[in-house]
Amino acid sequence: MITLTEKAAAEVKRLIQAQELPEEVGLRVGVRGGGCSGLSYSLNFELEQNEKDRVFHSNGIKLIVDTKSLLYLSGTTVDYTDGLNGSGFLFNNPNATQSCGCGSSFSA
């Protein structure tokens, strides 16, 4: 399972409204090869899911995760920060054995 904090869910809702997306849109959370630590996180809005996707709901947001990414993301909490050093989504991934300094890539 993947969880969004209340702050992350509020930012996702704000983005959905700002982009005028339909209410049934989901947030695809995934992993792809690349980044300085080998794997990087991805977030995209999608209306459809594949039959092999897993769907979770967290704080009112529909999360879509493909089965391969779920192997790396199970138990992850996604947060949002908007501090003085910048804003963005932060991944607290218990499966990551190493992360880069900016937190956008990891190895497992």
Q: In CATH, what is the architecture of 3-107?
A: Sandwich (2.60)
Domain ranges, ordered by start, for the chain: 3-107
pLDDT by residue, tens only, the chain of 108 residues: 899 999 999 999 999 999 999 989 999 999 987 655 578 889 999 999 999 999 999 999 999 999 999 999 999 999 999 877 778 998 998 987 755 454 444 444
Contacts 24+ apart (CB under 8 A), 86-90: 89/8, 89/11, 89/41, 89/43
Global pTM exceeds 0.75: yes
